[in-house]
Amino acid sequence: MKVHLISGGCGFVGRNMVKRLYRTTQDKIFFIDDLSVGTDPSTWLDHALVGEKNGIKVYGQDERLYFLKADFRDVVHALSVDPEYIKKTYGLDFVDFGDIYHYAAIVGGRAKIDGDPMMVALDLSIDAEFFYYITRHKPDRVLYPSSSAAYPINLQTETGAIALAEHNIDFNNMGQPDMTYGWSKLTGEYLAKIAAQYYGVHITCIRPFSGYGEDQDLTYPIPSLAKRAALKENPFEVWGTGYQGRDFVHIDDVIDCIEVAMNHISDGTAINIGMGKLTSFRDIIELMTGFAGYNPEIKQLLDKPVGVHSRYCDMSFVEKTLDGKLKFQLRKECDAYMRQPFKNSVEHHVIKKNHTTKPSLSGCYLHGNYRLL
């Protein structure tokens, strides 16, 4: 039985990866988070706490889920010094890891990226410790999540936006990414290439676009807008003009793509994960308030940070690189099966913090999905 390590395992993407690995493997999952942004496992795991071993909480009757509340930098530094650190400190035989998914990062939406860029720059310290460790104690496979924020901002303007393709990032001719968060992710991508080329690490990089899903925090736009629609906010406030657009992709599709990519990419190549569709925040508001049964006045908050105007991706490289392993499936727009759960949620005001519903948006708002064949 392998042991997989997930840093930032209680954040939005991390906890969804924890749950996916638990469902699809028989391996042990060791996830670490300091809970500065992530949420405690007791709030999102379907498995009971069955024990605790020297500070590591164990969930599930089969004892395959292990959670450590800690700063990942401290843990991975200790592992770099002594690969038996977990065994010696916590009494668990976690020495060699199968797959490592590195989601630990400081990120909190536009307010954090623009409001405290030096705090976000601490991601560099997290990644430095991480890459040093994996080049000394090579796991089977590594995932490094970069970001669509790594793309040059001059390609994402109101008048000059293009569908962002992987080749639009060229380390020999750099454009300016989105604030310190974008720079930190570019640095991580470069280190991933070094890890693969000079140290033989099997590593895959992804550039996910704007993810959403059932248990996403209210600091993100989709659940925030959904909740306000449920409460029939009027006037309906929107940051900026609301005509800014993003490429929204469901978390299940992100993880589907990760699973396939890690089987086919090992040299640090970065790939997009998105729908390839630009949708404005006003479009989302119109959809959600439509389900709520009202047509509010839109109040623009022009003093709020909005980031780039238009950010969406070109998925053609992914389709070619993964050689048909992913299939783009069109869904019927506003299919009754997909729309009813979200409609009910809005009508009954049951959209809660950290919870929105996939069927609502993937069926009625996004027009397609990447799915495994």
Q: What secondary structure, in 3-state letters, does 111-152 show? A: HHHHHCHHHHCCHHHHHHHHHHHHHHCCCCEEEEECCHHHCC
| 166 and 189 belong to one structural domain | yes
Residues 337 and 265 in one domain: no
Summarised one tens digit per residue, pLDDT across range 185-243 is 999 999 999 999 999 999 999 999 999 887 888 888 888 898 899 999 999 999 999 99
CATH code for the domain in which residue 80 is found: 3.40.50.720
Q: What is the pLDDT of residues 159-178, one digit of tens each?
A: 989 999 999 999 999 999 98
What total of structural domains would you count in the chain?
A: 2
Report pLDDT for 106: 78
pLDDT, residue 219, reads: 81
Domain-embedded: residue 131: yes
CA neighbor of 212 nearest in space, from 111, 342, 41 = 342
Instruction: Report if residue 268 sits inside a domain.
Output: yes
**Model confidence pTM above 0.75:** yes
The predicted pLDDT at position 302 comes to 94
**pLDDT (0 to 100) of residue 324:** 64
Residues 118, 152, single domain; the answer is yes
Listed as ranges, residues in the chain with pLDDT below 50 are 328-373
Residues 239 and 260 reside in one and the same domain: no
- Residue 325 to residues 11, 57, 208, 320, Cα–Cα distance (Å): 27, 37, 18, 9
Is residue 360 one of the residues assigned to a domain?
Answer: yes
Query: Do residues 258 and 236 share a domain?
Result: no
CA–CA separation, 99 and 342 (whole Å): 35
Q: Do 156 and 223 lie in a common domain?
A: no
pLDDT of residue 145: 97
Which domain, by its residues, includes 75?
Answer: 3-211+248-273
User: Smallest Cα–Cα separation from 342: which of 355, 359, 363, 354?
Assistant: 359
Same domain, 182 and 305: no
Q: Per the domain annotation, does 158 fall within a domain?
A: yes
Do 77 and 159 fall within a single domain? yes
Going from the C-alpha of 243 to that of each of 157, 189, 236, 298, the distances in angstroms are 12, 31, 14, 11
Considering the domain architecture, whether residues 236 and 364 belong to the same structural domain is answered as yes
How many angstroms separate the CA atoms of 146 and 254, rounded? 13
233 and 114 inside one domain: no
Q: Do 178 and 287 fall into the same domain? A: no
Residues 227 and 133 reside in one and the same domain: no
Residue 223: per-residue pLDDT: 87
CA-CA distance, 83 to 77, in Å (whole number)? 10
